[in-house]
A and B are shown apart, each in its own frame.
Chain A
């Protein structure tokens, strides 16, 4: 249940920091998601929380107690690996029982032949056997108890890994991209199973992923990481609606937030490419900005309505909706130029099967959905209308 405090946690291999000055205060019983692209350091962070990797500098505390030097088993944690890390030579039942058996082992019990004997006898004790059976029942593994991991499907192995964590009843559950090896459908199913587990045990969860859908659906709090640095800490709603910088804005959402290069001058904000006026009275100082608007917030203008002129460059018909990529302004249908997606403004609109490349449309949106980011730093500019600051911006 612990409250976790990270104080300037740093991890370096040699001189390059993989994690740099990570500071956060997470209440207990949160489902914390560490979200970021590959290589951002999130797995390293998780391993430091687990005690599998050494902290180079800074402290990690559980409920006020610094845990930097504690062995994993002293921290009362459970860890689910991306590859599940099941013991191949043991049955499912033995895998699940292993943590309980280890609790009872004395140092000399580890001698090769003696250890098999001891493992078997401890596993037979009622308090152990019952717990294993109970956990297997909860995760629907009862009929697989005597199988070896290699005879199981991906989803089943996942559940064995979860069972092995559940059986120890830890204070913190640590999960390292547990769903990335599963196919899409199974992923959706397992997502709700893990969320269900969280609700049932009511303990702290720390979950690492690069998939923002997982983060948005499961987390009570998200920490977005990029290249070892915290980009933003917040609830899913805060991350979505008020991203602290351009990176977070682009990372969240599918497609991510559109960031149109714009210039502010004398109270007007103009699109740099087409020169169209995007916003008046934004209250920004003169300079270069990124005009941020989520694809979901853009609609096609009705006939006769005013809006931004744009030309369609790509269309994706998804059945339930259409995702169209636009270039602002009038363009000839075929400049023969390859589409530079960096310039493209995406919109998610109700299904429009007739829409095709080269068509001209007008785009409308709510002023309240706009986010501004400075072009040089990428940081969000607080709205002139006094909206609340986003939490936990980049240090």
Chain B
């Protein structure tokens, strides 16, 4: 009946609105806080609506927080993690997708099971290992540590894309005179670029967001990525909160933008190995 349908639709719309508010409110509140002066925050009470007129002042307030240098460090770590992870992942994904060899099952299991390992357990041994290798207190060491966790995910994303390419196309290239390694670069890579892009986004933000290893391994505060730097402000209110929130929002923005753009491909790749059909 029509009434039932209208009521149903109303309920659905309300539920959706509730979800949107639920998901969006903290982000909105972060922006709001960035635009609110300390006096209001602690004394008179934070307004529900943002004070848009304060927007031009935000870049200046960022000076309270050395966010620039931090973001550069974050970028370096993230970029390094991405490059290294992709290199290992693309080669490995091709091998797992196309080749049948002894220990293939073991390799696949290894990759999957690393997703179970808690970083907290590995922090100490890696700390010791990096200490002896002289990799502590260096961004390069963080790239190495992050890659170990990010690479398997990237590998699954790329592998699921390679699985979808009919092998006949590669056989055709083989008959046409293309050597085996050429099949990867000439045929497969051009056809999986979207998935490689998605894998790149995932690994980039693994490196961008990473906190634990950066916090433990780095002693120089100039080397801090934004994750570590901003973490020092959690629960601390000596630095103007608006500046901190502005800096935090800046830190979050790239991740939000990219992830929203690539969500479908990322998730399908992440779960392809695990979920059936």
Asked if A and B form a direct contact in the complex, defined as CB atoms under 8 angstroms apart, the reply is yes
Seen from chain A, the residues whose Cβ lies within 8 Å of a Cβ on chain B are 50, 52, 71-73, 77-79, 81, 83, 85-89, 98-99, 102-103, 105, 107, 110-112, 115, 164, 168
Q: Given A88-B191, A110-B185, A111-B185, does the pair A72, B168 have CB atoms closer than 8 Å?
A: no
B176 touches A73 (CB 8 A): yes
A73 touches B177 (CB 8 A): yes
A112 touches B185 (CB 8 A): yes
9 A-B pairs with C-beta separation under 8 A: A52-B174, A73-B176, A77-B175, A85-B168, A85-B172, A87-B172, A89-B191, A115-B186, A168-B176
Closest chain-B Cβ to A102's Cβ sits at a distance in Å of 4
Give the residue of B166, B176, B185, B190 whose beta carbon is less than 8 angstroms from that of A102: B176
Q: List the A residue with the shortest CB-CB distance to B178.
A: A102
Interface membership of B119, Cβ < 8 A: no
Give the residue of B172, B177, B190 whose beta carbon is less than 8 angstroms from that of A81: B172
A164 touches B185 (CB 8 A): no
* Residues of the A chain whose Cβ atoms lie less than 8 Å from the Cβ of B179: 107, 110
B181 touches A50 (CB 8 A): no
Q: Given A85-B168, A85-B169, A110-B182, does the pair A79, B189 have CB atoms closer than 8 Å?
A: no
B187 touches A87 (CB 8 A): yes
Given A89-B191, A98-B173, 12 further pairs, Cβ under 8 A: A52-B175, A72-B174, A79-B171, A83-B168, A86-B169, A87-B187, A88-B169, A99-B176, A110-B181, A110-B185, A112-B185, A168-B176
A85 touches B186 (CB 8 A): no
Distance in angstroms between the alpha carbons of A88 and B181 in the assembled complex: 19
Q: Given A85-B166, A85-B168, A88-B191, does the pair A78, B182 have CB atoms closer than 8 Å?
A: no
* Residues of the B chain whose Cβ atoms lie less than 8 Å from the Cβ of A98: 173, 176, 178
* Residues of the B chain whose Cβ atoms lie less than 8 Å from the Cβ of A78: 175
B176 touches A89 (CB 8 A): no
* Residues of the A chain whose Cβ atoms lie less than 8 Å from the Cβ of B185: 110-112, 115
- Which 4 residue pairs across A and B have the least CB separation, nearest first? A102-B177, A85-B172, A99-B176, A110-B182
* Residues of the B chain whose Cβ atoms lie less than 8 Å from the Cβ of A107: 179
Q: List the B residue with the shortest CB-CB distance to A112.
A: B185
Distance in angstroms between the alpha carbons of A112 and B90 in the assembled complex: 13
B3-28 interface bits toward A, Cβ cutoff 8 Å, 1 = contact, 0 = none = 00000000000000000000000000
A50 touches B175 (CB 8 A): yes
* Residues of the B chain whose Cβ atoms lie less than 8 Å from the Cβ of A99: 176-177
Distance in angstroms between the alpha carbons of A164 and B189 in the assembled complex: 22
Q: List the B residue with the shortest CB-CB distance to A80.
A: B172
Chain B interface mostly helix, strand, loop or mixed?
helix
Q: Given A110-B186, A115-B185, does the pair A52, B171 have CB atoms closer than 8 Å?
A: yes
Seen from chain B, the residues whose Cβ lies within 8 Å of a Cβ on chain A are 166, 168-169, 171-179, 181-182, 185-187, 189-191
Q: List the B residue with the shortest CB-CB distance to A74.
A: B177
* Residues of the B chain whose Cβ atoms lie less than 8 Å from the Cβ of A89: 190-191
Closest chain-A Cβ to B98's Cβ sits at a distance in Å of 13
A85 touches B171 (CB 8 A): yes
Distance in angstroms between the alpha carbons of A107 and B174 in the assembled complex: 14
Closest chain-B Cβ to A256's Cβ sits at a distance in Å of 32
* Residues of the A chain whose Cβ atoms lie less than 8 Å from the Cβ of B168: 81, 83, 85
Closest chain-A Cβ to B250's Cβ sits at a distance in Å of 33
* Residues of the B chain whose Cβ atoms lie less than 8 Å from the Cβ of A71: 174
* Residues of the A chain whose Cβ atoms lie less than 8 Å from the Cβ of B182: 102, 105, 110, 115
Q: List the A residue with the shortest CB-CB distance to B193.
A: A89
* Residues of the B chain whose Cβ atoms lie less than 8 Å from the Cβ of A111: 185
Distance in angstroms between the alpha carbons of A77 and B171 in the assembled complex: 13
Q: Given A83-B168, A85-B166, A89-B191, does the pair A72, B186 have CB atoms closer than 8 Å?
A: no
Closest chain-B Cβ to A7's Cβ sits at a distance in Å of 24
Distance in angstroms between the alpha carbons of A52 and B175 in the assembled complex: 8
Distance in angstroms between the alpha carbons of A337 and B52 in the assembled complex: 87
Distance in angstroms between the alpha carbons of A102 and B172 in the assembled complex: 12
* Residues of the B chain whose Cβ atoms lie less than 8 Å from the Cβ of A72: 174-175
Distance in angstroms between the alpha carbons of A78 and B169 in the assembled complex: 14
B169 touches A87 (CB 8 A): yes
Q: List the A residue with the shortest CB-CB distance to B171.
A: A52
* Residues of the A chain whose Cβ atoms lie less than 8 Å from the Cβ of B175: 50, 52, 72-73, 77-79
Most central of A77, A98, A168 by chain B CB within 10 Å: A98
* Residues of the B chain whose Cβ atoms lie less than 8 Å from the Cβ of A86: 169, 172
* Residues of the B chain whose Cβ atoms lie less than 8 Å from the Cβ of A81: 168, 171-172
* Residues of the A chain whose Cβ atoms lie less than 8 Å from the Cβ of B190: 89
Closest chain-B Cβ to A67's Cβ sits at a distance in Å of 14
* Residues of the A chain whose Cβ atoms lie less than 8 Å from the Cβ of B174: 52, 71-73
* Residues of the A chain whose Cβ atoms lie less than 8 Å from the Cβ of B172: 79, 81, 85-87, 164
Distance in angstroms between the alpha carbons of A72 and B183 in the assembled complex: 14
Distance in angstroms between the alpha carbons of A50 and B185 in the assembled complex: 23
Q: List the B residue with the shortest CB-CB distance to A72.
A: B175
B176 touches A164 (CB 8 A): yes
Q: Given A81-B172, A102-B177, A164-B176, does the pair A112, B189 have CB atoms closer than 8 Å?
A: yes
Distance in angstroms between the alpha carbons of A168 and B177 in the assembled complex: 10
Q: List the B residue with the shortest CB-CB distance to A174.
A: B175
Distance in angstroms between the alpha carbons of A154 and B204 in the assembled complex: 42
B166 touches A83 (CB 8 A): yes
Closest chain-A Cβ to B41's Cβ sits at a distance in Å of 52
Most central of A50, A73, A111, A168 by chain B CB within 10 Å: A73
Give the residue of A87, A88, A112, A115 whose beta carbon is less than 8 angstroms from that of B173: A87
Distance in angstroms between the alpha carbons of A107 and B186 in the assembled complex: 12
Distance in angstroms between the alpha carbons of A232 and B190 in the assembled complex: 45
* Residues of the B chain whose Cβ atoms lie less than 8 Å from the Cβ of A164: 172, 176
Closest chain-B Cβ to A224's Cβ sits at a distance in Å of 26
Closest chain-B Cβ to A366's Cβ sits at a distance in Å of 48
* Residues of the B chain whose Cβ atoms lie less than 8 Å from the Cβ of A103: 177
* Residues of the B chain whose Cβ atoms lie less than 8 Å from the Cβ of A73: 174-177
Q: List the B residue with the shortest CB-CB distance to A99.
A: B176
* Residues of the A chain whose Cβ atoms lie less than 8 Å from the Cβ of B166: 83, 85
Closest chain-B Cβ to A179's Cβ sits at a distance in Å of 17
* Residues of the A chain whose Cβ atoms lie less than 8 Å from the Cβ of B176: 73, 98-99, 102, 164, 168
